[in-house]
Amino acid sequence: MATLIDMPKLSDTMTVGTLVRWLKNEGDAVANGDMIAEIETDKATMEVECFDEGILIKHYCSEGDEVAVADPIAAIGEAGEEAPAATSSAPAAAAPEPVAAVEAPAAAPAPVAAPAAPAPVAAPAANTGARIKASPLAKKIAAEKGLDLATIQGSGPGGRILKEDVLNAKPVAATPAAATSAPAAAPAATLEELVIPVSNMRKSIGKALVASKTQAPHFYLQIEVNGAPLAKLRAELNGKLAGLPPEQGGVKFSVNDLTLKAAAEAVRRVPAINRSWEGDSIKQHANVHLAFGVAIDDGLVTPVIRAAETKGLREIGAEAKVLIKKARSKKLTPNEMSGSTLTVTNLGMFGISDFYGIINPNNAAILSIGATIKKPVVNEHDEIVVGQVMKIGLSGDHRTIDGAVGAQYLQALKEILETPAMMLV
């Protein structure tokens, strides 16, 4: 008798999933432990495991389809067996989840998040004049490389062209028929009107941000930090360690690694910042579960470094690199994105000098790290000199903490960043 494989519930907030790609086709033999499909949840893209042996006799949905949790996606049986009829249920609304985003530092800041990638669409046709569908990043890279998207086969849902497809493509000359029947490629700067379906992740991000801004009364603080000592320490560490092989302790630290370590260390001095709103109570956490923002094509995810206050700079840097890689390949597990107690978001690599983040529910605060900018400053001798200034913003939940707690935490963080050797002992 055939066995149905249902859409699994891969996170606490998941009510529907999008079948991104089939890994096993109808007629394929499957065994216990085989991965049969990739599913996009409201948090990440994950693989579905088969726990039966036999033949995959039926796909109940196509790549790109959205399926409610517990609805069947496939049937496993014997060769020649008829697949049972499948029933489906209406998808329920997804609940908000912790997601960090950023907003401009104004009286009523407005959220700004990474642009969403297009949802599954039909495969492009090179010579029919049909509009080609590709992610914004894929279009940008194709324009820079001088590639015609019509000559690239997409590997995304329904044939959508992704960044990797463009990077792996080689220029292909158009055939005479294509040159005469298809319109010329539009210039890279040409704008076009798009209707972009909202992905599960984008929906979850939107609901979480609305919930955070409407339920948590945000207040905003900012402090200026002398970034020269941190830059000097980083240069010294990388100068000694970056050229060594890993087995000899070789490592290269980023500014993000150092600020994550400093943020966790500052909580030791002001533990009240490490709280969460629990409705009838306020909980102060025994460990710093430090989340940090990672931008991906379809939004922003916040992987978590557990008990960050107990880990050294090497360990934090290594763990952050692993989590960033998994985030960009959509391989983070729900556990790796939940349970944060404090969040750090950094836009310094984009040249943004100051901004404020939207608080990750149910954190008490989120830190916003800006770029280190050279500007005139007055030194201890009242002389105007060239300084390296880093602005750090803090958005706080006024239900959980007051401005004094936020100010004390920023002062502690400033002292650590301006004397960065302190976080190494």
Catalytic residue among 59, 285, 289, 398: 398
**What is the pLDDT at residue 180?**
35
**What is the pLDDT at residue 170?**
63
Query: 73-82: per-residue pLDDT in tens?
Result: 999 988 888 8
Structure tokens at 376: 């005139």
**What is the pLDDT at residue 131?**
58
**What is the pLDDT at residue 298?**
74
Domain residue spans in the chain?
A: 3-77, 117-197, 200-424
Q: What is the mean pLDDT of residues 218-224?
A: 97
Q: Which of 67-71, 346-350, 394-398 has the highest mean pLDDT?
A: 394-398
Residue 398 designated active-site: yes
Q: How far, CA to CA in Å, does 404 sit from each of 193, 257, 259, 264, 411?
A: 47, 27, 22, 19, 10
Class of 3-77 in CATH:
mainly beta
**What is the pLDDT at residue 59?**
93
**What is the pLDDT at residue 116?**
38
What is the maximum alpha-carbon separation in the chain? Answer: 88
**What is the pLDDT at residue 343?**
97
**What is the pLDDT at residue 98?**
46
Rounded to 5 degrees, what are φ and ψ at 285? -85, 145
Q: What is the mean pLDDT of residues 162-182?
A: 57
Residue 382 CB partners (closer than 8 Å, separation 6+) = none
- The average confidence (pLDDT) of the chain is 83
**What is the pLDDT at residue 277?**
94
**What is the pLDDT at residue 136?**
63
The answer to whether the Cα torsion of 3, 7, 11, 15 is positive or negative is negative
Superfamily of domain 200-424: Chloramphenicol acetyltransferase-like domain (3.30.559.10)
Identify which has the larger pLDDT, 224 or 32. Answer: 224
**What is the pLDDT at residue 188?**
54
**What is the pLDDT at residue 104?**
43
Confidence check: pLDDT of 52 > 90: no
Confidence check: pLDDT of 370 > 60: yes
Task: Of 59-73, 117-131, 228-242, 383-397, give the lowest mean pLDDT range.
Answer: 117-131
Three state DSSP letters for 400-413:
CCCHHHHHHHHHHH
Query: 175-187: per-residue pLDDT in tens?
Result: 333 333 344 444 5
The domain over range 117-197 is classified in CATH as 3.30.430.20: no
Q: How far, CA to CA in Å, does 165 sit from each of 115, 118, 168, 169, 333?
A: 19, 15, 5, 6, 25
Query: 56-98: per-residue pLDDT in tens?
Result: 999 999 988 888 888 999 999 888 888 888 776 544 444 344 4
Rounded to 5 degrees, what are φ and ψ at 214? -90, -25
**What is the pLDDT at residue 171?**
54
Identify which has the larger pLDDT, 126 or 313. Answer: 313
**What is the pLDDT at residue 60?**
93
Residue 264: which pLDDT band, with cuts at 50, 70 and 90?
very high
